[in-house]
């Protein structure tokens, strides 16, 4: 970020940084996928806890605290300064909650469940291919059954002779749909869900930079620290998209492409937030509260439950404290300089 440029350029640079770190996280799918599923769980859960701590600290020091000072001193609300901030806080949480309510529930399926499911199915397919080969050898030696008879005895009803377990088929009308098609649908839903969650983060950066120079407490350091904090916590989000894709058998370039794509919404949302507060000055305390509410809701409703869902809750909590402490130190050090 560059201090002596317009808020719009600062917003583009700040959200560009958040997108870049999202893309950087996507690259690591190539490294982490070579480890066991258990280690993949630990790495991603630790990263999610770390990002949750950063988001909580950034919500207070970079959003709520400046919003309270603006409403108290600059708008002259005194003791009533908490009203616009709390109003924005709840509106932000309600906004994200309503978005999740109206979207299908399967859009928010845990990321590693997709990766675990895909790696399990890959091992299943590999083992069944060996089983198919052994049956073919037996068939050629005994010459007793036809190939179709053997497939029926093994429970294989596919046309090409490859094994498809009942677990690879959906219930209801989609029971004949192959697992690869089902995986594609689930991964697209995961990509869209994480993209939706990036909108309030982009708004927060744009709102913070848009208010610089309009209020004494809307400082460049607050805005830049917020952008840095969100950029750090975007790392596991890029990984959460690219890792399941890569584990499901997609190529590295395609996995990376979709991983970084989830972060491209932040520059667009950031410009909208910057425009709103730049031309409507008195909206700043409400807007900062709104951005904080959206981020806090995402932490409590999505990030922390997801990081605790695979048995590594203690690791996630410790990493959350570390992330919170690092963001707090970043704020205190930059403000004192």
pLDDT value at residue 20 = 93
Share of the chain above pLDDT 70, in %: 68
Kindly state the tokens that stand for 325. Answer: 């402490």
Q: Does 88 score more than 80 pLDDT?
A: yes
Higher pLDDT, 38 or 190: 38
pLDDT of residue 167: 42
pLDDT at 1 over 50: yes
Q: With contact defined as beta carbons under 8 Å apart, do 275 and 61 qualify?
A: no
List the one residue out of 280, 282, 263 whose CA is nearest residue 205: 263
Range of 108-117, 127-136, 176-185, 246-255 with top mean pLDDT:
246-255
Classified as helix, coil or strand, 197 is helix
Determine the pLDDT at residue 121: 44
Q: Tell me the per-residue pLDDT of 148-166, one tens digit each, with 9 for 90 and over.
A: 444 444 444 444 444 444 4
66-80, 137-151, 247-261, 311-325 — most confident range: 311-325
Q: Taking the alpha carbons of 143, 146, 150, 156 in that order, is the dihedral positive or negative?
A: positive
Nearest partner of 263 among 14, 92, 61, judged by Cα: 14
The closest alpha carbon to 202, from 265, 117, 119, belongs to 265
Average pLDDT score over residue span 197-217? 80
Determine contact, residues 307/39, Cβ cutoff 8 Å: no
DSSP state of 80: G
pLDDT band for 321, please (50, 70, 90 cuts).
very high
- pLDDT at position 89: 92
Output the average pLDDT for the chain: 73
Residue closest to 277 by CA, chosen among 209, 194, 189:
209
At 122 the pLDDT is: 47
Q: Reduce the DSSP state of residue 68 to 3 states and report it.
A: helix
Cβ atoms of residues 250 and 30 within 8 Å? no
pTM of the model: 0.63
pLDDT attached to residue 104? 58
**What pLDDT score does 325 carry?**
92
**pLDDT the model gives residue 324:** 92
Instruction: Flag whether pLDDT at 246 surpasses 80.
Output: no
85 touches 166 (CB < 8 A): no
pLDDT of residue 145: 44
185 pLDDT band (50/70/90 cuts)? low
Which letter does DSSP use for residue 295 in this model? Answer: H
Residue 32 has pLDDT above 90, yes or no: no
Q: Look-up: residue for tokens 């409403």?
A: 71
Mean pLDDT for the stretch of residues 177-189: 51
d(CA 249, CA 278): 46
The whole-angstrom separation of Cα 63 and Cα 36 is: 39
Instruction: List all residues 6 or more positions away from 282 whose beta carbon is below 8 Å from its beta carbon.
Output: 75
pLDDT tens digits along 286-313: 888 888 888 888 888 877 887 887 788 8
Range with lowest mean pLDDT among 9-23, 25-39, 53-67, 144-158? 144-158
H-only helix segments in the chain: 7-27, 29-32, 37-58, 65-69, 82-102, 111-142, 147-154, 179-210, 220-247, 252-261, 265-279, 284-298, 304-307, 313-336
More confident residue, 199 or 172: 199
Mean of pLDDT values over 309-318: 86
Residue 245 clears pLDDT 80, i.e. is over it: no
Of 70, 90, 76, residue with least CA distance to 283: 70
């Amino acid at each position: 970020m560059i201090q002596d440029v317009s808020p719009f350029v600062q917003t583009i640079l700040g959200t560009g940084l958040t997108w870049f770190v999202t893309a950087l996280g996507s690259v690591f799918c190539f490294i982490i996928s070579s480890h066991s599923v258990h280690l993949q769980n630990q790495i991603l859960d630790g990263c999610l806890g770390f990002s949750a701590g950063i988001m909580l600290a950034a919500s207070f020091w970079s959003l709520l605290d400046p919003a309270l000072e603006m409403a108290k001193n600059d708008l002259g609300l005194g003791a009533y300064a908490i009203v616009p901030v709390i109003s924005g806080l709840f509106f932000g949480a309600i906004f994200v909650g309503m978005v999740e309510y109206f979207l299908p529930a399967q859009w928010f399926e845990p990321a590693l469940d997709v990766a675990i499911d895909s790696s399990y199915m890959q091992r299943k397919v590999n083992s069944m291919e060996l089983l198919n080969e052994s049956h073919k050898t037996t068939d050629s030696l005994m010459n007793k059954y036809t190939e179709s008879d053997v497939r029926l005895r093994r429970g294989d009803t596919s046309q090409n002779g490859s094994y498809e377990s009942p677990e690879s088929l959906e219930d209801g009308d989609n029971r004949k749909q192959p697992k690869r098609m089902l995986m594609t649908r689930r991964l697209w839903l995961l990509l869209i869900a994480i993209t939706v969650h990036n909108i309030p983060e982009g708004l927060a950066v744009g709102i913070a930079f848009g208010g610089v120079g309009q209020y004494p407490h809307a400082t460049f350091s607050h805005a830049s620290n917020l952008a840095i904090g969100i950029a750090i916590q975007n790392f596991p989000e890029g990984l959460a998209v690219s890792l399941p894709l890569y584990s499901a058998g997609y190529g590295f370039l395609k996995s990376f492409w979709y991983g970084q794509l989830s972060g491209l919404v932040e520059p667009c949302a950031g410009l909208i937030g910057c425009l709103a507060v730049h031309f409507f000055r008195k909206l700043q305390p409400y807007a900062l509260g709104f951005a904080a509410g959206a981020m806090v809701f995402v932490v409590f409703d999505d990030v922390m439950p997801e990081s605790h869902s695979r048995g590594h809750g203690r690791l996630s909590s410790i990493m959350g404290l570390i992330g919170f402490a690092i963001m707090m130190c970043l704020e205190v050090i930059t403000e004192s300089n």
